[in-house]
Structure 1
Amino acid sequence: MHYTIALNFEDGVTRFIDCKPNETVLDAAFRNRINLPMDCSDGVCGTCKCRCEGGEYEMGDDYIEDALSEDEAARGQVLTCQMVPASDCVVAVPVPSTLCKTGIARFEARLAAVTPHQDAALEVSFETLSGATPPSFLPGQYVNIGVPGSGQTRAYSFSSAPGAARFGFLIKRVPGGLMSGYLDRAQAGESLEFTGPLGSFYLREVTRPLLMLAGGTGLAPFLSMLEVLAERGCEQPIRLIYGVTRDQDLVLVDRLEAVASRLPGFSFQTCVADPDSAHPRTGYVTGHMTADMLNDGDVDVYLCGPPPMVDAVRRHFDQQGVVPRNFHYEKFTPTQVITVDETAPA
């Protein structure tokens, strides 16, 4: 049986390769014209050491302790020259994609629909070109979308699950914004160019409670993650706090309600920063994080929002003396996306 391996490089570029039965990841990558780091390919030097962040695999015993210690193996470190997948896997490669003689994938798709949500956001969907393969990405990742006629791109996270021929985004409506202006006059069927997927902000294997924190259109990657979790099932509790500035910025709440009906253990709450709001919960997300959500630090936190929100949450954790087991966050501005992973010592 063939498996799909997502190689996520240090610079955030992700490439997907197929791996044949009993084939090592190193050999599969080379067959797909991606030169992963290696020297010996015999499990002796440790040069090909990476980290498996999801999936099942076999390592065998044809490598030496100096190349991969028991402690490293227990933490998910692998030697790609020895790793034989037993399922689809995600492998973090600790070097830039350029050093492996690969780069960002590119594809085209047609605009299918634009649904405005007042002056807050645009829900945008695209369809793959006839005969084209749907874009591959990890739930939570983003792509750069070319704005026709401008020579510029804008970065947006997928709001849909991977593998669908029709995929979507939740885009903040920015007065005078390049992409907002284009979408206001765009016609269905127009072709746009995409580069990606990109970013290290994506759903890892769920082994402990999850706390998701979304700010505004930072809800998009969580919609993708939650669709995947609802499809797969999840035994861990999942909490989401969705914070916005104004009442009208609360969009796609119906999507969250639909996921809650399909995914036992998932719950969410919304809050509005505007103190004059009639919403039952006002203030920022930090004011609605309870002790049980933080679980004494034994929690994986995912956060996507503007830089001030990210900074506020980090300060809150410091003030509470809480160090999440894993803290994955992505902060975005109209022209920049920054993704960071912080892992507590084992």
Structure 2
Amino acid sequence: MSYTIALNFEDGVTRFIGCKVGETVLDAAYRQKVNLPMDCSDGVCGTCKGHCEQGGFDMGDEYLEEALSDEEAAGGMVLTCQMVPSSDCVVQVPVASSLCKTAVGEVQGSIAAVERLSEDSIELAIDLDEGGELAFLPGQYVNITVPGAGVHRSYSFSSLPGETRASFLIRNIPGGVMSSYLTERAALGERLTLTGPLGSFYLREVTRPVLMLAGGTGLAPFLAMLEQLARQRQEGKGGDQPIHLIYGVNQDDHLVKVDALEAFAEQLPSFTYATVVVDEASDHPRKGYVIHHMDAGVMHDGDVDVYLCGPPPMVDAVLKHFDAEGIVPQSFHYEKFTPNAAGEAA
């Protein structure tokens, strides 16, 4: 038996390692050629200090308070040389991955499907090579190299970690490098290279109400998060904390994957969602921006974890709204995606 430990480095790279029962995270990392910071390995110097965001572990009592104070330990700080996991864990490592002699992972795969979901959205499915299933935290992204262009583009997974088929929602930008490739040249079976996982936007352990705010293809990481929550519920691990998603788009026909959201609502009794359309000429029952539909009920008097993913104007609008209304969620995680305009990477 072993536990999976996600090591999140400060440069956004995530490396997954296996940790044996009774083994320290530091020893497990070194065994797998990840050189975490370390001077003493005896709980004396504090060089290997990090932060455990989720998971169970035992720190024992053989370290000095100078290396890790009681206050730090109460806040989730750990010494990886003393930390012995009792479950899968996510650990923040406050150095760049390059300093630990580890690098971002790379896998190969073949195009399984390219589907035009709407005028502005494309779904890409990639069958990963055998043994190349990517471990990632729901919400993270990878870089996908555009064949023949010599550049890559970054996309969040909309599929579950560890699956042999990875899926992505991609905004269709006229003249865009990836958009042009997918709509004009991509062929089933064509080979693609993915590097990652990357990013600090991912689902944390759900211990209180959750509000998800998605704009356009920023829906993708939430599909992965909801898939994870649905799987946990199937395994009897899910809780009953309310989870509400507000999904905003510019036009009616830009709403995609609503059938998937409906399926999640059936699988997760605590999950609800609302769709919002900006277009004033729309007959949609909820018009405007996501901030117009964040009533007091979904904010739970601030006792809520907020996740936000969308284009920069949407992210900025939500940030300003929170500031103007004095809203301070228990935790707030957000990611902006900036579509590459035509010719930018030509």
Task: Tell me the TM-score range normalised by the shorter chain.
Answer: over 0.9
- Structure 2: segments with no counterpart, 5+ residues: 233-237, 342-346
Counterparts of residues 31-70 of structure 1 (less than 5 Å): 31-70=31-70
* 3-state SS of paired residue (1:318): helix
How many angstroms does 1:335 deviate by? 4.1
Give the corresponding residue for 2:217. 217
| 8 Å Cα contact 1:50-1:80 kept in structure 2 | yes
Query: In the alignment, what sits opposite 1:207?
Result: 207
SS of the aligned residue for 2:253 comes to: helix
Do residues 138 (structure 1) and 137 (structure 2) align? yes
Change (3 A) 1:128 1:34: same
TM-score (norm 1): 0.95
Judge which range, 189-198 or 131-140, deviates more: 131-140
Equivalence for 1:239: 244
- C-alpha separation in 1, matches of 2:200 and 2:340: 18
Q: Counterpart of 1:339?
A: none
Aligned residue runs from structure 1 range 55-94, under 5 A: 55-94=55-94
Which residue in 2 is equivalent to 1:159? 158
The whole-number CA distance in structure 2 between the counterparts of 1:191 and 1:98 is: 28
Partners of 1:149 and 1:25 lie apart in 2 by 41
1:157-186 deviations in whole A, cap 9, x for unaligned? 000011110110011111111111111121
In 1, Cα distance between equivalents of 2:257 and 2:172: 15
* Aligned-pair CA distance for 1:286: 0.3
Residue deviations 1:42-73 (CA, integer Å, cap 9, x gap) = 11111111111111111111112221122211
Structure 2 partner of 1:340:
none
* Equivalent position of 2:235 in the other structure: none
In 2, are the aligned partners of 1:234 and 1:263 still within 8 Å (CA)? no
Partner of 1:95: 95
What does residue 149 of structure 1 align with? Answer: 148
Aligned alpha-carbon RMSD (Å): 1.1
Take 1:37 and 1:296, find their aligned partners in 2: how far apart are those partners?
A: 40
Contact 1:154 1:334 in 2 (8 A): no
Matched, 1:274 2:273: no
Q: Secondary structure, in 3 states, of the residue corresponding to 1:258?
A: helix
Q: Is the 8 A contact 2:144 2:155 kept in 1?
A: yes
Structure 1 stretches of at least 4 aligned residues deviating more than 4 Å after TM superposition: none
Contact 1:301-1:328 within 8 A present in 2 as well: yes
1:284 to 2:286 alignment: no
**When the two structures are aligned, how many residues end up with a matched partner?**
335
Residue 275 of structure 2 aligns to which amino acid in structure 1? T
Q: Identify the residue that residue 343 of structure 1 maps to in structure 2.
A: none
Match for residue 342 of structure 1? none
Q: What residue in structure 2 maps to residue 315 of structure 1?
A: 320
Amino acid at match of 2:124: V
Which residue identity is paired with 1:113? Answer: A
Aligned residue among 259, 268, 280 for 2:264: 259
CA distance in 1, matches of 2:329, 2:282: 31
State the identity as a percent. 65
Asked if structure 2 preserves the Cα contact closer than 8 Å seen for 1:108 and 1:128, the reply is: yes
Q: Gaps spanning 5+ residues in structure 1: where?
A: 337-346
Contact 1:125 1:166 in 2 (8 A): yes
1:177 equivalent in alignment to 2:157: no
- 1:115 matches 2:119: no
The letter of the residue matching 1:284 is Y
Query: 1:249 aligned to 237, 250, 254, which one?
Result: 254
What is the alpha-carbon distance in structure 2 between the residues aligned to residue 302 and residue 21 of structure 1? Answer: 33
Deviation at residue 132 of structure 1 after TM alignment:
2.1
Q: After superposition, what is the alpha-carbon deviation per residue over 1:103-149, rounded to whole angstroms, capped at 9, x for unaligned?
A: 111111110001111312111111112x3231111100000000000
Q: What amino acid is aligned across from residue 124 of structure 1 in structure 2? A: L
Q: Provide the secondary structure at the position in 2 that maps to 1:26.
A: helix
Is the contact made by 2:49 and 2:78 (CA closer than 8 Å) also made in structure 1?
A: yes
Q: Please, what TM-score do these two structures have when normalized by structure 2?
A: 0.95
2:79 and 2:327 map into 1 onto residues whose CA distance is 33
Counterpart position of 1:329: 334
* 2:27 is equivalent to residue 27 of structure 1: yes
